[in-house]
Amino acid sequence: MIADEPFQVIEISGSSDGPNLLIVAGVHGDEYEGIAAIRELAAQLVSQREHLHGSVTLIPIVNEPAFAIPARCGDDGKDLARTCPGSTNGSPTEQIAHAISKRIRSADFFIDLHTGGMTMQVWPLIGYGLVANETVLETQRRMARAFGLPLVWGTSANLKGRTLSIAWEAGVPAIYGEYLGGGMCSGEGVKNYVEGCLRVMTEFGILTGHPKPDLLSEDHCIEDPRDQSGHMQICHPSPIAGYFESTVTLGEAIESGSLLGRVIPSDGGRTLDILANESGRVIVMRTCCSVQTDEPLAVILENAPAAAFKNNPLFS
């Protein structure tokens, strides 16, 4: 561990030289599948050092103050995924952002594991940024397809403050995962996260002794270069505070103008219908009934690849 780092770091070195893969979870304190997966991954890699070429750096909980509350953000109210590269002299979240940014810049590959947290659930997916550097972009595509989750989503790299944006600026190939959430910890999600990380390591020769994974076909992949694509927190904002009732399920196909749910105002006023603003698949759905004005309710993915939602053995 580097002196004064505000999080636990697990360093696992292999039997020979090679690249460094950084895998983190807990950037938000209420996202649990990735945290559990990294603990399991550490145990597996320690027992396979002779097959490890290079090194793997694991950080189970980047945002320990938020995890302790528990909440998405720490007591200073700053979202770590909007605060990078941070500052050594700033608030606790800014100091964490500075420390994790330093780690990301020194890596050769980067994986950031997320979930929907306490309030949302996300269809299992691997995402990456559509960066200008073609070599980095092709590596990210390969990482994402090797990981093996049913949906592969390339989106705008013009999103500042994130761990991924630090990687992109530094030329480090980076992907992120999303897997359910809703305040729970899916055992299947933990398993798929562990397997996905091992698959990426095997694909790039960091881990040997395993069959090389089959890459997901292009049928599972979609790219959207529009500005702010991939920014889930701005989609279908609630017009009022109140009680949210969903009328659709995660992964469901929906038409533009169809009913997504209803918000019943806290003051007993008129119930408001929330209508889908586009056609596609529901890939994010709010699971917390209590909602404040402008908080997101759902994300719909246009032109969603059908293979990512039908008869997929990785998510049943």
Q: State pLDDT tens for residues 220-271.
A: 999 988 887 666 777 899 999 999 999 999 999 999 999 999 999 988 889 9
Q: 102 falls in which pLDDT band (50, 70, 90)?
A: very high
- pLDDT exceeds 50 at position 183: yes
User: What letter represents residue 112's amino acid?
Assistant: D
- Asked whether residue 108 falls in the same domain as residue 203, the answer is yes
- Asked if pLDDT for residue 86 goes beyond 70, the answer is yes
Higher-confidence position of 165 and 234: 165
User: Where do the H-state alpha helices sit in 47-124?
Assistant: 64-68, 92-105
Choosing from 173, 191, 224, the residue where a domain stops is: 224
Residue 300 is assigned to a structural domain of this protein = yes
Would residue 78 count as lying in a domain? yes
The domain that holds 179 is classified in CATH as 3.40.630.10
Tokens 């606790």 — which residue? Answer: 92
Claim to verify: residue 219 and residue 244 sit in the same structural domain = no
User: Which pLDDT band, with edges at 50, 70 and 90, does 314 fall under?
Assistant: very low
Contact present, 65 and 74 (Cβ < 8 Å): yes
Domain co-membership, 165 together with 284: no
Whether 292 is in a domain gets the answer yes
Predicted local confidence at residue 269, as pLDDT? 87
Instruction: Name the β-bridge partners of 175.
Output: 111
State pTM to two decimals: 0.95
Based on the fold, state whether residues 271 and 122 are members of the same structural domain: no
Q: Hey, CA dihedral for 243, 245, 251, 253, is it positive or negative?
A: negative
Same domain, residue pair 161 and 303:
no
Rounded to 5 degrees, φ, ψ at 156 are: -55, 135
Asked if residue 148 is part of any domain, the answer here is: yes
**Alpha-carbon gap, residue 32 to 37, rounded angstroms:** 9
Is the confidence at residue 315, as pLDDT, over 60? no
Last residue of a domain, one of 174, 200, 224: 224
Alpha carbon distance 315, 287 (integer Å): 19
What are 114-135's pLDDT values in tens digits?
A: 999 999 999 999 999 999 999 9
Q: Mark whether 32 and 147 lie in a shared domain.
A: yes
pLDDT, position 312: 58
Q: Is 50 contained in some domain? A: yes
Same domain, 100 and 195: yes
Mean pLDDT of the chain: 93
Token pair belonging to 26? 């807990």
Domain boundary among 224, 256, 278: 224
Percent of the chain predicted with pLDDT > 90: 88
Check if the beta carbon of residue 123 is closer than 8 Å to that of residue 281: yes
Please indicate, yes or no, whether residues 146 and 295 belong to a single structural domain of this protein.
no
Instruction: State residue 4's pLDDT score.
Output: 75
177 and 45 housed in the same domain:
yes
HSE of 100, CA atoms in CB hemisphere, 13 A: 39
Say if CB 242 and CB 292 are below 8 A apart: no
Report pLDDT for 229: 66
> Would you say residue 134 lies in a domain?
yes
Note the helical H segments in 129-250.
134-147, 163-170, 187-203
> Which of 167, 183, 204, 234 is closest to 24 using CA atoms?
167
Looking at the structure, do residues 286 and 142 belong to the same domain, yes or no?
no
What band does 25 get if pLDDT is binned at 50, 70 and 90? very high
Q: Domain limits at 264?
A: 235-308
Q: Are residues 136 and 268 in the same domain?
A: no
Does residue 149 belong to any structural domain of this protein?
yes
Tell me, yes or no, whether 203 and 261 share the same domain: no
Counted domains in the chain: 2
Instruction: Specify the residue for token string 């649990």.
Output: 32
Does residue 316 lie in a domain region?
no
Neighbouring C-alpha atoms within 13 Å toward the C-beta of 274: 31
Q: Which pLDDT score is estimated for 232?
A: 74
